[in-house]
Amino acid sequence: EAPAVGGPAVPGTVLDLRWSLPGWAGPLDLLMIGSSTGTEPGLVALVEQAYQHGSTVVCVAPPGTPLADAVAQTRGMALPFALSTVGLPEPPAAPETTAFHDPGRFWAILVPLLVLLERLGITRTTTEELGALADRLDAAAERCGPAAAVHLNPAKALAVQLADSLPLLWSEGAVPSAVARRFAALLAERAGRPALAAELPEALLTHRGLLSGAFAGEAHTDDFFRDRVEDPAPLELRIVLLRANDGEESAPGPAHRLADEHETPLSEPAASAAGPLETAADLLALADFLSVYLAVADAGRS
Protein backbone atom coordinates (compact mmCIF):
# COMPACT_ATOMS: atom_id res chain seq x y z
CA GLU A 1 0.00 0.00 0.00
CA ALA A 2 2.89 2.40 0.67
CA PRO A 3 4.04 2.40 -3.00
CA ALA A 4 0.42 2.87 -4.07
CA VAL A 5 0.00 5.91 -1.82
CA GLY A 6 3.28 7.36 -3.05
CA GLY A 7 2.20 7.17 -6.66
CA PRO A 8 4.37 6.75 -9.76
CA ALA A 9 7.11 8.94 -8.27
CA VAL A 10 8.03 6.20 -5.78
CA PRO A 11 10.74 3.92 -7.24
CA GLY A 12 9.54 0.83 -5.41
CA THR A 13 8.78 -2.80 -6.19
CA VAL A 14 6.12 -4.79 -4.33
CA LEU A 15 7.33 -8.36 -3.87
CA ASP A 16 4.97 -11.27 -4.32
CA LEU A 17 4.81 -13.89 -1.60
CA ARG A 18 7.65 -15.94 -3.02
CA TRP A 19 10.04 -15.31 -0.11
CA SER A 20 12.90 -14.41 -2.42
CA LEU A 21 14.59 -11.19 -3.44
CA PRO A 22 15.05 -10.24 -7.11
CA GLY A 23 18.46 -11.13 -8.45
CA TRP A 24 19.28 -7.47 -9.07
CA ALA A 25 18.93 -6.47 -5.39
CA GLY A 26 22.16 -4.99 -4.08
CA PRO A 27 23.79 -2.48 -1.70
CA LEU A 28 21.89 0.46 -3.18
CA ASP A 29 18.48 -1.09 -2.47
CA LEU A 30 16.26 -0.76 0.59
CA LEU A 31 14.02 -3.64 1.67
CA MET A 32 10.98 -2.50 3.66
CA ILE A 33 9.03 -5.18 5.54
CA GLY A 34 5.85 -4.80 7.55
CA SER A 35 4.28 -7.55 9.65
CA SER A 36 1.62 -7.45 12.34
CA THR A 37 2.88 -10.68 13.90
CA GLY A 38 6.56 -10.89 13.01
CA THR A 39 6.35 -14.68 12.92
CA GLU A 40 6.39 -15.43 9.18
CA PRO A 41 9.44 -17.63 8.41
CA GLY A 42 9.48 -16.37 4.83
CA LEU A 43 10.03 -12.79 5.95
CA VAL A 44 12.93 -13.86 8.15
CA ALA A 45 14.41 -15.58 5.09
CA LEU A 46 14.01 -12.32 3.13
CA VAL A 47 15.99 -10.47 5.79
CA GLU A 48 18.79 -13.03 5.57
CA GLN A 49 18.84 -12.76 1.76
CA ALA A 50 18.99 -8.97 1.95
CA TYR A 51 21.96 -9.22 4.30
CA GLN A 52 23.73 -11.51 1.83
CA HIS A 53 22.99 -9.07 -1.01
CA GLY A 54 24.24 -6.13 1.03
CA SER A 55 20.83 -4.42 0.98
CA THR A 56 19.57 -2.28 3.83
CA VAL A 57 16.56 -3.64 5.73
CA VAL A 58 13.87 -1.68 7.56
CA CYS A 59 11.00 -3.43 9.28
CA VAL A 60 7.90 -2.63 11.28
CA ALA A 61 7.01 -5.56 13.51
CA PRO A 62 6.20 -6.24 17.17
CA PRO A 63 9.40 -6.24 19.25
CA GLY A 64 10.75 -9.56 20.40
CA THR A 65 9.36 -11.46 17.42
CA PRO A 66 11.52 -13.60 15.08
CA LEU A 67 11.34 -10.94 12.35
CA ALA A 68 12.39 -8.09 14.64
CA ASP A 69 15.21 -10.19 16.06
CA ALA A 70 16.45 -11.14 12.59
CA VAL A 71 16.55 -7.48 11.53
CA ALA A 72 18.49 -6.57 14.67
CA GLN A 73 20.98 -9.38 14.10
CA THR A 74 21.63 -8.24 10.52
CA ARG A 75 22.10 -4.60 11.60
CA GLY A 76 18.86 -3.44 10.05
CA MET A 77 16.50 -0.77 11.37
CA ALA A 78 13.35 -1.59 13.32
CA LEU A 79 10.72 1.16 13.25
CA PRO A 80 8.28 1.51 16.17
CA PHE A 81 5.22 -0.71 16.08
CA ALA A 82 2.77 1.04 18.38
CA LEU A 83 -0.88 0.13 18.83
CA SER A 84 -3.42 2.49 20.33
CA THR A 85 -4.78 1.29 23.67
CA VAL A 86 -7.52 3.91 23.88
CA GLY A 87 -10.72 2.26 25.07
CA LEU A 88 -9.15 -1.15 25.61
CA PRO A 89 -10.04 -2.62 29.02
CA GLU A 90 -6.96 -4.83 29.00
CA PRO A 91 -3.79 -5.30 26.94
CA PRO A 92 -4.36 -6.73 23.46
CA ALA A 93 -4.18 -10.48 23.03
CA ALA A 94 -1.24 -12.26 21.47
CA PRO A 95 -0.41 -11.01 17.95
CA GLU A 96 -1.12 -14.35 16.27
CA THR A 97 -4.73 -14.32 17.52
CA THR A 98 -5.65 -10.73 16.75
CA ALA A 99 -3.31 -9.62 13.99
CA PHE A 100 -5.72 -9.65 11.08
CA HIS A 101 -8.83 -8.74 13.03
CA ASP A 102 -7.42 -5.53 14.51
CA PRO A 103 -7.48 -2.76 11.87
CA GLY A 104 -5.18 -0.70 14.08
CA ARG A 105 -2.35 -3.07 13.25
CA PHE A 106 -2.58 -2.18 9.57
CA TRP A 107 -2.07 1.52 10.25
CA ALA A 108 0.59 0.76 12.87
CA ILE A 109 2.59 -0.76 10.01
CA LEU A 110 1.77 1.69 7.22
CA VAL A 111 2.27 5.02 9.02
CA PRO A 112 5.90 4.44 10.14
CA LEU A 113 6.79 3.36 6.61
CA LEU A 114 5.18 6.49 5.17
CA VAL A 115 7.13 8.65 7.62
CA LEU A 116 10.36 6.93 6.60
CA LEU A 117 9.63 7.44 2.90
CA GLU A 118 9.07 11.13 3.57
CA ARG A 119 12.32 11.43 5.54
CA LEU A 120 14.19 9.77 2.68
CA GLY A 121 12.69 12.25 0.22
CA ILE A 122 10.86 9.55 -1.72
CA THR A 123 7.38 10.86 -0.95
CA ARG A 124 6.04 14.19 0.24
CA THR A 125 3.78 12.96 3.03
CA THR A 126 4.27 15.54 5.78
CA THR A 127 3.58 15.18 9.49
CA GLU A 128 0.64 17.54 9.09
CA GLU A 129 -0.86 15.33 6.39
CA LEU A 130 -0.50 12.27 8.61
CA GLY A 131 -2.29 14.15 11.37
CA ALA A 132 -5.06 15.03 8.94
CA LEU A 133 -5.19 11.35 7.97
CA ALA A 134 -5.82 10.40 11.60
CA ASP A 135 -8.65 12.94 11.76
CA ARG A 136 -10.11 11.52 8.56
CA LEU A 137 -10.04 7.99 9.98
CA ASP A 138 -11.83 9.25 13.09
CA ALA A 139 -14.51 10.83 10.89
CA ALA A 140 -14.82 7.60 8.88
CA ALA A 141 -15.24 5.64 12.12
CA GLU A 142 -18.14 7.89 13.11
CA ARG A 143 -19.70 7.65 9.65
CA CYS A 144 -19.31 3.86 9.33
CA GLY A 145 -19.53 2.88 13.00
CA PRO A 146 -22.32 0.87 14.65
CA ALA A 147 -24.04 3.97 16.05
CA ALA A 148 -24.82 5.38 12.59
CA ALA A 149 -28.15 4.39 11.03
CA VAL A 150 -28.13 2.19 7.93
CA HIS A 151 -29.35 4.92 5.58
CA LEU A 152 -26.53 7.20 6.77
CA ASN A 153 -23.87 4.50 7.08
CA PRO A 154 -22.11 3.52 3.81
CA ALA A 155 -20.55 0.40 5.38
CA LYS A 156 -23.88 -0.93 6.67
CA ALA A 157 -25.64 -0.08 3.41
CA LEU A 158 -23.05 -1.94 1.33
CA ALA A 159 -23.09 -4.86 3.79
CA VAL A 160 -26.83 -5.23 3.20
CA GLN A 161 -26.23 -5.28 -0.56
CA LEU A 162 -23.50 -7.92 -0.22
CA ALA A 163 -25.40 -10.13 2.24
CA ASP A 164 -26.30 -12.75 -0.39
CA SER A 165 -23.79 -11.75 -3.04
CA LEU A 166 -20.49 -12.87 -4.47
CA PRO A 167 -18.56 -9.60 -4.78
CA LEU A 168 -16.51 -8.74 -7.83
CA LEU A 169 -14.16 -6.02 -6.60
CA TRP A 170 -13.26 -3.97 -9.65
CA SER A 171 -10.70 -1.24 -9.09
CA GLU A 172 -9.07 1.54 -11.04
CA GLY A 173 -5.87 3.19 -9.94
CA ALA A 174 -3.02 2.12 -7.67
CA VAL A 175 -4.67 2.96 -4.34
CA PRO A 176 -8.13 1.46 -5.12
CA SER A 177 -6.42 -1.68 -6.46
CA ALA A 178 -4.44 -2.11 -3.24
CA VAL A 179 -7.66 -1.55 -1.27
CA ALA A 180 -9.51 -4.13 -3.39
CA ARG A 181 -6.92 -6.79 -2.59
CA ARG A 182 -7.16 -6.05 1.12
CA PHE A 183 -10.97 -5.89 0.85
CA ALA A 184 -11.03 -9.45 -0.52
CA ALA A 185 -8.64 -10.62 2.19
CA LEU A 186 -10.77 -9.04 4.93
CA LEU A 187 -13.96 -10.67 3.64
CA ALA A 188 -12.24 -14.06 3.60
CA GLU A 189 -10.57 -13.73 7.00
CA ARG A 190 -13.29 -12.03 9.02
CA ALA A 191 -16.52 -13.06 7.36
CA GLY A 192 -15.45 -16.31 5.70
CA ARG A 193 -16.75 -15.01 2.38
CA PRO A 194 -15.22 -15.28 -1.10
CA ALA A 195 -14.58 -12.23 -3.25
CA LEU A 196 -12.72 -11.73 -6.51
CA ALA A 197 -10.57 -8.65 -7.07
CA ALA A 198 -9.46 -7.44 -10.49
CA GLU A 199 -8.19 -4.20 -11.98
CA LEU A 200 -9.89 -2.28 -14.74
CA PRO A 201 -9.88 -2.48 -17.68
CA GLU A 202 -8.61 -6.11 -17.47
CA ALA A 203 -11.58 -7.04 -15.26
CA LEU A 204 -13.91 -6.43 -18.19
CA LEU A 205 -12.31 -9.43 -19.91
CA THR A 206 -11.25 -11.68 -17.04
CA HIS A 207 -14.65 -11.55 -15.31
CA ARG A 208 -16.85 -11.38 -18.40
CA GLY A 209 -17.50 -15.12 -18.29
CA LEU A 210 -18.68 -14.91 -14.69
CA LEU A 211 -21.34 -12.37 -15.64
CA SER A 212 -23.10 -14.98 -17.76
CA GLY A 213 -22.28 -18.04 -15.65
CA ALA A 214 -23.93 -19.88 -12.78
CA PHE A 215 -23.64 -16.93 -10.37
CA ALA A 216 -25.07 -14.33 -12.73
CA GLY A 217 -28.27 -12.64 -11.69
CA GLU A 218 -29.93 -13.43 -15.01
CA ALA A 219 -29.26 -17.15 -14.40
CA HIS A 220 -31.38 -17.27 -11.24
CA THR A 221 -35.15 -17.34 -11.02
CA ASP A 222 -36.51 -17.33 -7.51
CA ASP A 223 -38.19 -20.64 -6.64
CA PHE A 224 -41.66 -19.87 -5.30
CA PHE A 225 -41.65 -23.09 -3.25
CA ARG A 226 -38.21 -22.52 -1.69
CA ASP A 227 -38.17 -22.54 2.12
CA ARG A 228 -36.91 -19.05 2.95
CA VAL A 229 -35.63 -20.27 6.33
CA GLU A 230 -34.10 -23.67 5.57
CA ASP A 231 -32.96 -22.98 2.00
CA PRO A 232 -30.88 -19.80 1.69
CA ALA A 233 -30.95 -17.84 -1.52
CA PRO A 234 -28.14 -18.69 -3.96
CA LEU A 235 -25.24 -16.28 -4.18
CA GLU A 236 -25.48 -13.79 -7.01
CA LEU A 237 -22.76 -11.59 -8.42
CA ARG A 238 -22.52 -7.95 -7.41
CA ILE A 239 -19.86 -5.65 -8.78
CA VAL A 240 -18.25 -3.25 -6.31
CA LEU A 241 -16.45 -0.49 -8.18
CA LEU A 242 -13.57 1.11 -6.27
CA ARG A 243 -11.86 4.14 -7.76
CA ALA A 244 -10.49 7.55 -6.93
CA ASN A 245 -12.57 10.56 -7.83
CA ASP A 246 -9.89 12.28 -9.91
CA GLY A 247 -11.78 12.53 -13.18
CA GLU A 248 -8.89 11.08 -15.19
CA GLU A 249 -9.93 7.45 -15.65
CA SER A 250 -12.19 6.13 -18.39
CA ALA A 251 -13.00 2.49 -17.58
CA PRO A 252 -15.98 3.04 -15.20
CA GLY A 253 -18.23 3.83 -18.18
CA PRO A 254 -17.63 0.46 -19.87
CA ALA A 255 -17.90 -1.23 -16.46
CA HIS A 256 -21.37 0.20 -15.93
CA ARG A 257 -22.43 -0.75 -19.45
CA LEU A 258 -21.19 -4.33 -19.05
CA ALA A 259 -23.03 -4.66 -15.75
CA ASP A 260 -26.23 -3.36 -17.34
CA GLU A 261 -25.91 -5.74 -20.29
CA HIS A 262 -25.75 -8.75 -17.94
CA GLU A 263 -28.27 -7.41 -15.41
CA THR A 264 -25.62 -7.51 -12.70
CA PRO A 265 -26.09 -5.06 -9.80
CA LEU A 266 -23.25 -2.61 -9.29
CA SER A 267 -22.31 -0.65 -6.19
CA GLU A 268 -19.91 2.26 -6.28
CA PRO A 269 -18.92 3.61 -2.85
CA ALA A 270 -18.53 7.36 -2.76
CA ALA A 271 -14.92 8.16 -3.58
CA SER A 272 -12.90 10.96 -2.07
CA ALA A 273 -11.97 13.90 -4.24
CA ALA A 274 -8.76 14.39 -2.24
CA GLY A 275 -5.34 12.78 -2.61
CA PRO A 276 -4.24 9.13 -2.45
CA LEU A 277 -3.89 9.06 1.34
CA GLU A 278 -7.42 10.33 1.84
CA THR A 279 -8.78 7.90 -0.75
CA ALA A 280 -6.99 5.03 0.99
CA ALA A 281 -8.35 6.06 4.39
CA ASP A 282 -11.95 6.31 3.16
CA LEU A 283 -11.98 3.02 1.26
CA LEU A 284 -10.02 1.03 3.85
CA ALA A 285 -12.29 2.21 6.66
CA LEU A 286 -15.30 1.16 4.59
CA ALA A 287 -13.79 -2.29 4.01
CA ASP A 288 -12.87 -2.70 7.68
CA PHE A 289 -16.34 -1.95 9.01
CA LEU A 290 -18.20 -3.77 6.23
CA SER A 291 -16.30 -7.01 6.80
CA VAL A 292 -17.14 -6.89 10.50
CA TYR A 293 -20.85 -6.27 9.82
CA LEU A 294 -21.01 -9.24 7.45
CA ALA A 295 -19.23 -11.45 10.00
CA VAL A 296 -21.69 -10.42 12.72
CA ALA A 297 -24.67 -10.97 10.41
CA ASP A 298 -23.46 -14.44 9.45
CA ALA A 299 -22.86 -15.34 13.10
CA GLY A 300 -26.43 -14.30 13.90
CA ARG A 301 -27.80 -16.61 11.20
CA SER A 302 -25.98 -19.69 12.46
Distance CA 168, CA 261 (A): 16
Res. 102: pLDDT tops 50: yes
* Across 42-56, 65-79, 194-208, 224-238, least confident range: 224-238
CA distances from 103 to 42, 99, 165, 187, 228 (A): 23, 8, 24, 13, 35
Mean pLDDT confidence for 67-83: 94
Distance CA 50, CA 54 (A): 6
Domains 2-125 and 152-301 share a fold: yes
* pLDDT tens sequence across 109-147: 998 999 999 899 888 888 888 888 889 999 999 999 999
Q: Which CATH number fits domain 2-125: 2.70.98, 3.40.50, 3.40.190, 3.40.630?
A: 3.40.50
* pLDDT tens sequence across 2-36: 555 555 555 556 655 567 888 899 999 999 999 99
Res. 68: pLDDT tops 50: yes
Res. 92: pLDDT tops 50: no
Q: Would you kindly state where each structural domain of the chain is located, as residue ranges?
A: 2-125, 152-301
Helix (H) or strand (E) holding 238: strand 236-243
Res. 43: pLDDT tops 60: yes
Mean pLDDT confidence for 179-203: 95
Proportion of the chain above pLDDT 90, given as a percent: 56
Domain at 152-301: CATH architecture: 3-Layer(aba) Sandwich (3.40)
- pLDDT attached to residue 127: 82
